[in-house]
Amino acid sequence: MKGRVYLVGAGPGDPELLTLKALRVLGVADVVLHDDLVSRAILALLPATACVINVGKRCGPKNLCQQEINELMVGCASAGYTVVRLKAGDPMIFGRAGEEMAALRAANIDFAVVPGVTAALGAAAAAQMALTRRGVAPALALVTYSRAACEPSARWRGLIESNATLAIYMPGDDYKKISAELREAGLDCETPCVLISWATTPTEQIHATTLGRLAEMLPLPSPTLIVIGAAALLAAERATLPVEAATGLTARTYC
């Protein structure tokens, strides 16, 4: 008898941000295939009897390729096990859920999706920063820099002209390049910019600066999210402590 696969969102890191459904599903898992960025605090909630496998990747190296992950899901479910594919954030946002659902459908494996809090929402809550503001920021654009960097500057201009708040996932560590591309596309160098590293976790860092000064920032530990736009202004205004003296910046950070 075939088992079932659950694509579960683990959220940005704080285990208290798991949904009740996610927690229930984790409690009955036989096999858990988790991303590398799923926090240890959440992994600690897994049943002692579950087979837990890290299938994620960080900074390029892969534990398993996507095809191997698909085969693991299908193989374990076909053997009758309850399988949880545990993803950081939300499965449907930059989580390759589309490829995995296609593989499960092709193998006639029953599956369900359990949504999670995506990084942008966790970061915004941590920084007490509204991602949209009436009359100022009417839209929100979730983009990955690795994808956006390959697009012509016209793509950036379209987002900028919409007055959308930009939430840049997986920005890498070349902040200077990001700053230059956005300024070339028409964004003012004084545009508020907030960087959030490991949002909602004990190692969280929140740094506020401007797009112009972003180029001078030292890279923060991954995973990092960069929020750029007028909606970030209040978060920048709330910042009261200087960034470490080693940066030589006048940007601010939270304690």
Active site positions, annotated = 35, 57, 170
121-to-71, 148, 153, 154, 225 alpha-carbon distances in Å: 32, 20, 26, 27, 10
Rg (the chain; Cα; Å): 20
Say how far apart CA 232 and CA 142 lie, in whole Å.
15
Nearest to 12 by CA among 44, 42, 53: 42
Residue 239 and residue 192 in contact, taking contact as beta carbons nearer than 8 Å: no
Say how far apart CA 170 and CA 185 lie, in whole Å.
20
Map tokens 């009417």 to a residue.
138
Map tokens 């920084």 to a residue.
127
Say how far apart CA 227 and CA 7 lie, in whole Å.
27
Residue 168 and residue 144 in contact, taking contact as beta carbons nearer than 8 Å: yes
Nearest to 239 by CA among 223, 219, 255: 255
Residue 129 and residue 194 in contact, taking contact as beta carbons nearer than 8 Å: yes
